[in-house]
Structure 1
Amino acid sequence: MNEPQSARPSFATPRPSACPGLLRIVAARDGGICRVKLAGGVLSAEQALAVAAAAETHAGGVIELTNRSNLQIRGIHGDHQALVADLLGAGLGPGNPASDDVRNLMLSPSAGLDRDMLLDTRPLAAQILTSLEQRPRLHQLSPKFAVCLDGGEGLAMREHPHDLWLSALQRDGQTWLAFGLAGCPAFDAPLAAVPVEQGHALVLAVLELFLDLASPEQARMRQLLSDLPAAAFLAQLRARIPVPLEAVEGWQKPATNQDYRHLGLYPQAQAGCVAVGAAAPLGRLTSTTLRQVARLAVQYGDGQLHLTPWQSLLLPNVPAERGQALLEALQALGLLVSPDQALARLTACSGAQGCAKGLADTKADAVRLAERLPGGVSAHLTGCKRSCAAAHVAPFTLLAVAPGRYDLYQRDAQHPGFGVLRARDLTIDAVGAHLAVDSRSHTA
C-alpha cells in the first residue's frame, strides 16, 4: 500500500521554515535532522527503544535532547520515509500530520509530580494539544511559535521566552492562570489572569487573534507587538474571552532553577517516590546509551522518560530507597548527575562539525573548556550569532570568531543580545583563565 502523501517527509510548510520536524528532514553538514516533538516531553521506554533503533538504522546513532524538551535524530542518511515510518509506528507523531509543526507546548518535566505545584497542568496541556492537532486554522502558526504552561512546580524552566506563557497563581483560595506575551514568567509581568477553568479558551483566543492580526511576515508574537501595543492586543482579546481578564496585582516572579534541581534525586508529591535526573553531555546521547536508559526506566521506575529543557532526562516514580542506585547506574552510563561536573554547566550548538554556519567545533571546545571551568560558572558556546542551541542568554556566552577562538560575553540585563563584551578573540585556554579570574573576583 502506498504511504499517504500527508505522512511523507517534506521540505514544505504553510509558513516556510528551516526548522526540522518529524515529517520534514532538514539538511545539515553532518546529514539530515529529524525533530520529534513529545507531548509534555514524555517518552515511554518502548518509544525510546524505537528512537534508538531508528537512529542506528537510518542515521549515525546520534540523538540530541533539545532545550524545549524534545529530541532530534542527527546524521540521517538514505531512506527518509523509512525513518519517519518507524517513528510513526512507535506513536511518536500526531494523529494529524498537518499539526506536527505547531505542537510547541512546554511543561515542567515534573508536571503532576511536583510537591510545589499549584496546578497539575497535564489535563489542560492535553486539551491544548488536541486543539492544535484538530483545528486546521492553527496549523498556520509558525513552527517556532511556542507556548509555555507553568504550574508553579519547583522544577520548571521559566527563563525561555515564549510567544504565550501561562503561570499558575493562587488568589483567594482559587487557582488562576496569569499570562503574558512574547516573554517569560522569570522576567516579565503578566498582562492579566483568568480562572484556570478558562485556560483552554484563553489559549485558543490568543492564538486565533494572533492569526487574525499578524501579517505573513510576522511569524512570532514579538514581531506583531512591535507594530501593535500589547494593551491594544489585550483590548481585542477581552471581546473573545467569556470571562473578564483580571489584572494581577503584586506579581511575584517565580523562582528559576538556579541550583540544578534537574540533576540528582528530586522528591515527588507522591509519598515514597523520587524522580531521578541526569543530563546528556552537551545535549547528546548515543543510541546505545538511550537504549540502556530506557531499560533502567523500566527496572527502577514506571517505564517513562521525561525530557527536560536543560537537555537532560528525568526518570519518575522511582521508590525512594532505590533512587541512589539508579543515579549511580545513570552515572555509570556517562550521564551527568551533579552540577559539580563541569560539563553539566556547559551547553554548545552543533558547531562546525554539524552546521555550515559554525565557525568553530563548539562541542570539542566545550569539552576542553570543562577541564578549565571554575566551579559554579555556566556558559554557552555558539558557532555563530544565531545561538540556536540556547533559548535564553546564558551567564557567559562564547561566540566563535574562528576555529578555536571566541569572543566572551557576560549576561547583563542592561545590554541586549549576549550582554557585555568582556574580551575578544580568545583561545579556550584564555577563556578558562578569564572565567577563573572573574570567579575569584566574585567570591573574594
Structure 2
Amino acid sequence: MPPTPPSTPARDEARIRDRGDACPGALRLHAADDGGLARLRLPAGRLTAHQVEALAVAAETLGDGRISLTSRGNAELRGLAEECGAELAALLAEAGLLPSPTHERVRNIVASPAAGLDGLGGPEVQLWARELDALLCAEPWAAALSGRFLFVLDDGRADVAGLGGDVTLVAVRPGAGQEPAARQESAAGQDPTAGRLHVGGRAWLVAGADAPRAALAAAGAFLDAARAAGNGAWRVRELPEGSTPDVAGALDRAGIAAEPVPPAESLLVHAPPLAPGPLGTASFHVLAPLGRLTAAQLRALLPAEEVRLTPWRGAVVVGAAPGHQDHARLAALDSHGLITRPDSPWAGVSACTGRPGCAKSRADVRADAAPGSARGLPVHYSGCERRCGHPHGTWVDVVATADGAYLVDGAPTPRTALPDAVTTARTGAIARAATPSTPAETTR
C-alpha cells in the first residue's frame, strides 16, 4: 500500500495559526519565480462573455498569456510584472470581476457547474451562489474569513459535495429520496427546493429561499468559534475539539427556521466529477490540458451565454450551440487542444506549477506529465511534497524527487518510466482514501 500524503490534523491536534492568511488574491499578488501571481475568485466559476474577453486581455497584456484554472473553479494569472497591480485592478473592476476590494479573497464559492442544464439538477444553486456572494460582500465582518474558507453549493447530484467545503449546501427536492417528505415540508413549507446545510459533520434542513443567508450565518458561527478557540483557525476542520461552531444558534438569531438532520442522514455523498462532452441540448463541458488555458483557448469558448469554470479545471459553456451544432463546436475546441471527450487520456490529469515558476519544485512536472491509461483514477503531478492543487478524494500521487526521478504512489520511478507506471497505478486496485491539506498551496 503506497504512503498516504500528509493529511489534515485531527480535531484534537488542531494547527495553530500564528500569522494572517497570506493567500494571494486579485489585489494581493504572490511573488513567484516566474513573476507575480494573481488569483481571481469567481463565485460558481461564472464569467460573462465580456469577462472572458477581459481575462484573456489581462493574460496577454499583463501576464504570460495563459490562465490557470484552480480546484475551486477560480482563475490565476501568472508572469505579472511587479508594477502592474493598479492596471490589473482597473481592468478587473471595469469587467465586474472585482465587486469588493475588501472581500475579494473570501469569495470562494463552488457550485455544481451543470446545474439547470442537463435535467439532473435544478438551477437553484447557481442563483444561491449569486445571492450568497452579494450577502458576503455586503457584510464587513465577512472580510475576516480566510482566503481558504470554502462554500460549496451542490444541486443534489453530489458532484461538488465532496470538495471539502467548510459550509456545504445541498439542494433537496421532495420525492427525490434524499429526505423524508414530511421533514422537508416542515422546514421548507411550500418551497419546491430545500437546502441541507452541512457544517463540521452536522446538518440542518432550511428553506431554499433561506439557503444563502443560512450559509452566511454558518460562516459567522465559524468566526465566533475560531475567536473563542484562539488558535487562529482558517478552516472549520482546524478548530480544536470542543470548538464546534454554534450553527443552530446563528440560524436562530438570523430568523432562519431550521430542522436538525439525523446523523445517519448527515453524511455527504460523493459522485464522480462532471465528464467532458455535451450537456443537455445547448451546452457542453471541456477540460483544460493540465489545468491551463491560453488566451486563444479561452476565447474559443465564445460565443456563449456564459462560461462556468469548474473545480475539475475545465469550463462549462452555457448556451453554446443549439441541437446538431454542438458536435461541430466540440470538434473546433478539440482542434484548439482542449479536452472534449471522457475517453481522452488527459482527462483527469493535473499538475502543480512546477519549474520554472515555483522555486520549491524539483522538476518541470508539466513537461514530464504523462497520462498513462485513458481510464481509472485521477492523476496529479507535484514538484514537491506540498502537492499544490491536488484533487480531492483518491488519486494517483506522482511526486518529483531530488534525484530527478518520481514517486508514483510511493514507488520510485524513473522519469522515462512514468507512462507505464501511471497506467498501472491508474487502472490498478489502489484505493487510497485521503483528504490531504497543503498549507502553502500556490494553486487552489
| TM category, shorter | 0.7 to 0.9
Separation in 1, partners of 2:206, 2:283? 31
Q: Which residue of 1 aligns with 2:260?
A: 246
Tell which deviates more after alignment, 199-208 or 323-332: 199-208
Write out aligned runs for 1:130-149 (5 A).
130-149=134-153
Q: Which residue of 2 aligns with 1:108?
A: 112
Q: Are residue 315 (structure 1) and residue 320 (structure 2) matched?
A: no
* 1:300-341 per-position Cα deviation (integer Å, ceiling 9, x unaligned): x43x21111111111112312211011001101110111322
RMSD: 2.6
Asked if structure 2 preserves the Cα contact closer than 8 Å seen for 1:276 and 1:326, the reply is no
Separation in 2, partners of 1:253, 1:138? 26
Q: Which residue of 2 aligns with 1:88?
A: 93
Out of 278, 281, 285, the position equivalent to 1:265 is: 278
Separation in 1, partners of 2:404, 2:339? 25
Out of 426, 429, 437, the position equivalent to 2:416 is: 429
Q: Can you give the 5+ residue segments of structure 1 that lack an aligned partner in the other structure? A: 1-14, 183-188, 268-272, 410-420
Q: Which residue of 2 aligns with 1:10?
A: none
Separation in 1, partners of 2:342, 2:403? 28
Secondary structure of the equivalent of 2:318?
A: strand
Tell which deviates more after alignment, 101-110 or 120-129: 120-129
Q: Which residue of 2 aligns with 1:380?
A: 380
Q: Are residue 390 (structure 1) and residue 394 (structure 2) matched?
A: no
* 1:246-298 per-position Cα deviation (integer Å, ceiling 9, x unaligned): 2247537545125x52x01111xxxxx331121110011112222233xxx22
Secondary structure of the equivalent of 2:162?
A: coil
Q: Are residue 48 (structure 1) and residue 60 (structure 2) matched?
A: no
Deviation at residue 121 of structure 1 after TM alignment: 1.6
Q: Which residue of 1 aligns with 2:362?
A: 359
Q: Which residue of 1 aligns with 2:290?
A: 282
Separation in 2, partners of 1:375, 1:140? 42
Deviation at residue 435 of structure 1 after TM alignment: 3.9
Separation in 1, partners of 2:231, 2:424? 48
Q: In 2 relative to 1, CA 390–27 (structure 1 residues): closer, same or farther, beyond 3 Å?
A: same
Separation in 2, partners of 1:216, 1:59? 37
Out of 124, 129, 151, the position equivalent to 2:128 is: 124
Separation in 2, partners of 1:212, 1:305? 36
Write out aligned runs for 1:153-302 (5 A).
153=157, 156-170=159-173, 171-172=180-181, 174=185, 175-182=193-200, 190-214=202-226, 215=230, 217-224=232-239, 226-228=240-242, 230=244, 233-234=246-247, 236-237=249-250, 239-240=252-253, 242=255, 243-248=257-262, 251=265, 253-257=268-272, 260-261=274-275, 263-267=276-280, 273-293=281-301, 297-298=302-303, 301-302=304-305
Separation in 1, partners of 2:108, 2:374? 35
Counting matched residue pairs gives: 391
Secondary structure of the equivalent of 2:285?
A: strand
Q: Which amino acid aligns with 2:56?
A: A
Separation in 2, partners of 1:316, 1:426? 42
Q: In 2 relative to 1, CA 83–437 (structure 1 residues): closer, same or farther, beyond 3 Å?
A: closer
Asked if structure 2 preserves the Cα contact closer than 8 Å seen for 1:55 and 1:73, the reply is yes
The ranges of structure 1 where at least 4 consecutive aligned residues each deviate by more than 6 angstroms after the TM superposition are none
Q: Which amino acid aligns with 2:421?
A: H
Separation in 2, partners of 1:82, 1:313? 26
Q: In 2 relative to 1, CA 135–408 (structure 1 residues): closer, same or farther, beyond 3 Å?
A: same
Asked if structure 1 preserves the Cα contact closer than 8 Å seen for 2:115 and 2:122, the reply is no
Question: Structure with the greater relative contact order (CA < 8 A, sep ≥ 6): 1 or 2?
Answer: 2
Asked if structure 1 preserves the Cα contact closer than 8 Å seen for 2:56 and 2:295, the reply is yes
Separation in 2, partners of 1:324, 1:248? 46
Separation in 1, partners of 2:124, 2:39? 27
Separation in 2, partners of 1:249, 1:287? 47
Q: Which amino acid aligns with 1:240?
A: R
Separation in 2, partners of 1:19, 1:121? 26
Asked if structure 1 preserves the Cα contact closer than 8 Å seen for 2:115 and 2:126, the reply is yes
Q: Which amino acid aligns with 2:378?
A: S
Asked if structure 1 preserves the Cα contact closer than 8 Å seen for 2:64 and 2:80, the reply is yes
Secondary structure of the equivalent of 2:237?
A: helix
Asked if structure 2 preserves the Cα contact closer than 8 Å seen for 1:119 and 1:152, the reply is no
Q: Which residue of 2 aligns with 1:74?
A: 78
Tell which deviates more after alignment, 325-334 or 33-42: 33-42
Secondary structure of the equivalent of 2:401?
A: strand
Separation in 2, partners of 1:40, 1:127? 11
Separation in 2, partners of 1:355, 1:440? 30
Write out aligned runs for 1:11-50 (5 A).
16-50=20-54
Secondary structure of the equivalent of 1:20?
A: coil
Asked if structure 1 preserves the Cα contact closer than 8 Å seen for 2:225 and 2:243, the reply is no
Q: Which amino acid aligns with 2:408?
A: L
Q: Which residue of 1 aligns with 2:9?
A: none
Separation in 2, partners of 1:351, 1:360? 6
Out of 305, 309, 312, the position equivalent to 2:307 is: 305
Tell which deviates more after alignment, 192-201 or 327-336: 192-201
Secondary structure of the equivalent of 2:55?
A: helix
Asked if structure 1 preserves the Cα contact closer than 8 Å seen for 2:42 and 2:73, the reply is yes
Separation in 2, partners of 1:220, 1:253? 18
Deviation at residue 39 of structure 1 after TM alignment: 3.1
Aligned identity (percent) is 32
Q: Which amino acid aligns with 1:198?
A: D
Q: TM-score when scaled to structure 1?
A: 0.81
Secondary structure of the equivalent of 1:390?
A: coil
Secondary structure of the equivalent of 1:33?
A: strand
Deviation at residue 201 of structure 1 after TM alignment: 3.2
